Structure 1
């Protein structure tokens, strides 16, 4: 059952945890788990890393790939999978939240908990200070290895991403140069046991990106750890409209008082945005 807003961790509590992460007292902090023994002993942990500003139906569709990811890694284990919704308080592309137009980190974490509860008993929420996927895989691997129970040490880490994110992961400019990128991704896919499950997205939904001119060559180079699939709805049917949804579209629609934004977010997120008066919602 989904909690009401009053039952969520308070903004003060979440601000305290976020501050610890930002100041290096923790490199990753679990904010909410569905059970004390989360994560279960699965061979694959799926991670949905995003800014969640706010969560949308596209996030739900990406999250639905977690069961697909687990089935790819461990055939026949449909009932046992784990998903982590991950927020980074340092982003390689985006500035800190602007109070005039963005949800705070605490508000995003509260919305992520609501989303996790909607997704079911296999989903948890965490925050990290790592801005890169390589860094996120490293701290997640270290966190998993420190758990007394849960996934085995060789469990894979499947990052669920959109095609726009894939472009950035394979863009040398974020690493300094191509050779540095190859070295970092070699560690990411090798030592950290990570892989990418990429949902096709409509390129028209995003601004032009020219940071990965050799994208196809890099895709071929790392093809063994990268799989591209069609985004699906809750019934497993590919939906073109889902590929055009973005958080920025929600923010812009709310600021214009365009009520159509309510159709591209879950009811629990719609209620939260309205109650918190986010993005200048009435």
Structure 2
């Protein structure tokens, strides 16, 4: 499908949020699992994060009334990062991931665009959309990595105190944070972060927010190392094992459409 018209209208009318695809419609969603990414391309670590989240103990009772939302932030995707996959091609691939999620996990999945760069604004835009459609208010669960939650809770991104700037976000949302070994933050530090929040050690952050942040250890070390940039690098260098790092439908799309041929 040609998504050029949808993207043009999204920008022309200054929309902040728009659903462009649903695997199946539902009106009784009480929890929305939101994966916000550039999806360039979508890969198994994206899928694994969704699966880990819906299987997580704190959310098991909500499974039958949950929906997965794959969110593409236009403000981030438009940055000139030298990557050739167009927004239209990325949307095609995200939809393939959404259909795979519904087929394999049994949950409704949707694909949406947003122009909001900050999570607080994304939360507000999603809740406003539900209100406009007279849908029941859902609890939002953002699926993120540790590097992302650190950025969200960094005062330098806000002109007002975080307790004010992020109040509505933490009132309406929670975060499932998947640990990932990296050079800057050890797994031990990542797991201790929420404990520091609980203890009130991070003064700028209300300690009750800790109850809305769930840290989950990533036990799948192979998928933990998968990233969009790694997949693109493998394609560029002619390493065929990149196909094992994404779902079969997306691997087929990449082979047929060659969105990364200019790398």
TM-score normalised over the length of structure 1: 0.78
**Gaps in structure 1 of 5+ consecutive residues:** 1-9, 207-213, 232-237
Q: Give, in angstroms, the shift of residue 201 of structure 1.
A: 1.4
Distance 2:78 2:49 in 1: 24
Q: Give, in angstroms, the shift of residue 276 of structure 1.
A: 1.4
Tell me if structure 1 keeps the 8 A contact 2:31–2:65. no
Distance 1:139 1:52 in 2: 21
Q: Give, in angstroms, the shift of residue 50 of structure 1.
A: 0.5
* Bigger helix share: 2
Q: Secondary structure at the match of 2:39?
A: coil
Structure-to-structure mapping, 1:100-179, within 5 angstroms: 101-120=83-102, 121-149=107-135, 152-153=136-137, 155-176=138-159, 179=160
Query: Which of 165, 181, 184 in structure 2 is aligned with 1:184?
Result: 165
Q: Secondary structure at the match of 2:163?
A: helix
In structure 2, the CA distance between the partners of 1:101 and 1:188, relative to structure 1 (3 Å rule), is same
Structure-to-structure mapping, 1:46-65, within 5 angstroms: 46-65=33-52
In structure 2, the CA distance between the partners of 1:22 and 1:173, relative to structure 1 (3 Å rule), is farther
Q: Does 1:16 align with 2:17?
A: no
Q: Give, in angstroms, the shift of residue 219 of structure 1.
A: 8.7
Distance 1:271 1:281 in 2: 18
Query: Which of 224, 227, 233 in structure 2 is aligned with 1:243?
Result: 224
Show the counterpart of 1:197: 176
Show the counterpart of 1:211: none
**Gaps in structure 2 of 5+ consecutive residues:** 186-192, 197-201
In structure 2, the CA distance between the partners of 1:219 and 1:68, relative to structure 1 (3 Å rule), is farther
Tell me if structure 2 keeps the 8 A contact 1:55–1:265. yes
Distance 1:20 1:201 in 2: 38
TM-score normalised over the length of structure 2: 0.83
Show the counterpart of 2:189: none
Distance 2:156 2:62 in 1: 39
Tell me if structure 2 keeps the 8 A contact 1:56–1:266. yes
Distance 1:22 1:131 in 2: 14
Q: Secondary structure at the match of 1:203?
A: coil
Q: Does 1:72 align with 2:77?
A: no
Q: Give, in angstroms, the shift of residue 97 of structure 1.
A: 5.0
Q: Secondary structure at the match of 1:278?
A: coil
Show the counterpart of 1:85: 70
Give the length in aligned residue pairs: 244
Tell me if structure 1 keeps the 8 A contact 2:86–2:259. no
